[in-house]
Structure 1
């Protein structure tokens, strides 16, 4: 469908289009107020159009090992299943049995399209439920996040698992359904145990100061402990591939070119910690759901900081980063915080997206 876009420009085209949308939001905020109903209504149809195009653009991407490595790997497995090759399934049962089932009646392109529908729709449902008529702004923050594109085209199982976690949050007040969805996410990719565990812990210890203490303590502990934390967590019984992200530096280095203590990613993570601290402690936002989400983010992010020197630690970073849009935007469209709230939000949104644009476009040149 998008064959007219050269493969080498396929990803960067996605980010250029998002930049135009981000600029449109900023310019709109300079002219209109968030209470201007006519202006806000523009974003409803625009939002659905963008979501539809994104699903098609991401789901019908070219299968090319040089640009979408995991896509090619899964395509090979899927085609083998279609040809009747016996698959030995020993882990990630939900994903693998779902792939096996789909291989009976659809081709590989429709399979990837279906995966990206499942990947994107939970963020849409979450945004619609918690932000009402302002849902598009939340949805754009999900779409414009640093790793959103990457985990819809490469880290597919990670991305689908975290999307199921977001879907579980949609049923936050229906705990049985929520935990059932979390369980599905775990069997989609076992690494989801980290945000699930963080969810349980932050549900028991509801003091956000504790979350901040944990996060700040993880930085010196990581600097002092170094690879010892990687070795420790790798021996805790994680599923084989998840442990491999921590220990197989040589095998993973091609997929994550920079190792060592990533101060740039730490600052990126710290932005959500700061915004949560600002809303909860400075602006006195007392919201059970928000404090819980902030706890999940800080605890899961602390785990990543401890293993930050691992060659493939970005897979663990995403287990907290996928919640950053919710941490940023939730109070801004649920509570009155600033006088010119729409303008302030637009500046925050644009700054948030520009990190994504810089890391994926400008830095990659």
Structure 2
């Protein structure tokens, strides 16, 4: 990979490949029915190709500071290779056990490829479980999500943990396997306690209208009392001391290009909220699993809205954003809502990716 694609161009290649893939998908949605054999053949071949190429492309990336924390994971891995012990003070102990064990018998590129598999494969698994032969559309939406690349090459632990959560949800009928996946997710990154607790709460109460009202209430509460919520959650020690530090750290212009109440990212978050409202409230879509996913998203995103002014609030935004793709596409792959549903799916994929591509041009020129 280093020979043909430099670290400097790596993300550009990925984004433009996604652009062409989205265009091809739109073209098929215009000329073919969703259930047309030619379309089914296209989405199966393209889907499995995307799965394999994405895992290898992320896993075999060059070791470079241009990929954020990739370089820090590399340094820790090399230290474990040379016999360093796991510190008693380290957070996310399971992750470090995983890293130290791997360091004893495989090179760093193989380790990163396994991490990429843990990150990407569950997105395929949950899509395949819920949507059967039409899994490609859900998986594609995951891959072209705004946060996908960042948490594949920078926030690797967080991304892998979030995917382990989704892997667990895909086994929602097999509670023991689901619990094991949830436990592994927490061992990789403690912040996954939030979506796990939220998802667990939906087994007790699963009315989307109530959670929807709660999400809306978080906006004025954050505008009026934003600093109060940051102080409260930091004092609760959510996750560990490092994560509390994310809430209370002084502004750092390198985190986002602006700080404060992020209306642009609230707008992005509202994509999934609008989708859930439209299908559940407006179109009367009834699916208990979808209710659980949507309600989990609302709880986690509501938490982020309350601490949205924190400099590192993007780390908490991801605790809901990683579910956006499936929240948006789920009803469309389960029930007929439109006369030409395939074309509507294509438009949704295009609109969703358009935000990602715009942010790529604006924030990472």
- Name the TM-score class by shorter chain: over 0.9
Q: Please say if residues 70 and 154 of structure 1, whose CA atoms lie closer than 8 Å, have aligned partners that are also in contact.
A: yes
CA distance in 2 between partners of 1:78 and 1:201 (Å): 37
Specify the alignment match of 2:94 in structure 1: 94
Paired residues for 1:80-91 under 5 Å:
80-89=79-88, 90-91=90-91
Q: Root-mean-square deviation (CA), in Å?
A: 1.2
Question: How far did residue 46 of structure 1 move?
Answer: 1.5
Query: Tell me, what secondary structure is at the counterpart of 1:4?
Result: coil
Specify the alignment match of 1:167 in structure 2: 167
Specify the alignment match of 1:314 in structure 2: 314
Question: How far did residue 136 of structure 1 move?
Answer: 0.8
Question: How far did residue 203 of structure 1 move?
Answer: 2.4
Specify the alignment match of 2:278 in structure 1: 278
Paired residues for 1:91-130 under 5 Å:
91-130=91-130
CA distance in 1 between partners of 2:198 and 2:123 (Å): 20
Structure 1 residues 253 and 188: alpha-carbon distance in aligned structure 2, compared to 1, 3 A threshold: farther
Q: Please say if residues 304 and 317 of structure 1, whose CA atoms lie closer than 8 Å, have aligned partners that are also in contact.
A: yes
How many residues are matched?
Answer: 363
Question: How far did residue 227 of structure 1 move?
Answer: 1.8
Unaligned runs of 5+ in 1: none
Q: Please say if residues 119 and 159 of structure 1, whose CA atoms lie closer than 8 Å, have aligned partners that are also in contact.
A: yes
CA deviation profile, 1:114-140 (whole Å, cap 9, x unmatched): 100111000011111111111111100
Specify the alignment match of 2:51 in structure 1: 51
Specify the alignment match of 1:69 in structure 2: 68
Q: Please say if residues 253 and 312 of structure 1, whose CA atoms lie closer than 8 Å, have aligned partners that are also in contact.
A: no
CA distance in 2 between partners of 1:74 and 1:310 (Å): 25
Q: Please say if residues 257 and 363 of structure 2, whose CA atoms lie closer than 8 Å, have aligned partners that are also in contact.
A: no
Paired residues for 1:199-214 under 5 Å:
199-214=199-214
Paired residues for 1:235-314 under 5 Å:
235-238=235-238, 239-250=240-251, 253-314=253-314
CA distance in 1 between partners of 2:162 and 2:306 (Å): 20
Q: TM-score, normalised by structure 2?
A: 0.97
Structure 1 residues 52 and 2: alpha-carbon distance in aligned structure 2, compared to 1, 3 A threshold: farther
CA distance in 1 between partners of 2:256 and 2:95 (Å): 24
Question: How far did residue 196 of structure 1 move?
Answer: 1.1
Q: Please say if residues 260 and 308 of structure 1, whose CA atoms lie closer than 8 Å, have aligned partners that are also in contact.
A: yes
Q: Please say if residues 2 and 57 of structure 1, whose CA atoms lie closer than 8 Å, have aligned partners that are also in contact.
A: no
CA distance in 2 between partners of 1:100 and 1:255 (Å): 29
Comparing 5-14 with 185-194, greater Cα deviation is found at: 5-14
CA deviation profile, 1:227-247 (whole Å, cap 9, x unmatched): 221111011122122112111
Q: Please say if residues 293 and 327 of structure 1, whose CA atoms lie closer than 8 Å, have aligned partners that are also in contact.
A: yes
Displaced runs of 4+ in structure 1, greater than 6 A?
none
Unaligned runs of 5+ in 2: none
Q: Please say if residues 34 and 40 of structure 2, whose CA atoms lie closer than 8 Å, have aligned partners that are also in contact.
A: yes
CA distance in 1 between partners of 2:293 and 2:10 (Å): 34
Specify the alignment match of 1:34 in structure 2: 34
Specify the alignment match of 1:330 in structure 2: 330
Question: How far did residue 68 of structure 1 move?
Answer: 1.2
Question: How far did residue 38 of structure 1 move?
Answer: 2.2
CA distance in 1 between partners of 2:99 and 2:223 (Å): 41
Question: How far did residue 294 of structure 1 move?
Answer: 0.4
Query: Tell me, what secondary structure is at the counterpart of 1:254?
Result: coil
Q: TM-score, normalised by structure 1?
A: 0.97
Query: Tell me, what secondary structure is at the counterpart of 1:63?
Result: coil
Specify the alignment match of 1:350 in structure 2: 350
Specify the alignment match of 1:20 in structure 2: 20
Q: Please say if residues 273 and 298 of structure 2, whose CA atoms lie closer than 8 Å, have aligned partners that are also in contact.
A: yes
Specify the alignment match of 1:198 in structure 2: 198
CA distance in 1 between partners of 2:312 and 2:187 (Å): 21
Query: Tell me, what secondary structure is at the counterpart of 1:3?
Result: coil
CA deviation profile, 1:223-274 (whole Å, cap 9, x unmatched): 0012221111011122122112111235x55333421111010011111101
Query: Tell me, what secondary structure is at the counterpart of 1:226?
Result: helix
CA deviation profile, 1:5-27 (whole Å, cap 9, x unmatched): 22221111101000000011111
Query: Tell me, what secondary structure is at the counterpart of 1:96?
Result: helix
Q: Please say if residues 86 and 97 of structure 2, whose CA atoms lie closer than 8 Å, have aligned partners that are also in contact.
A: no
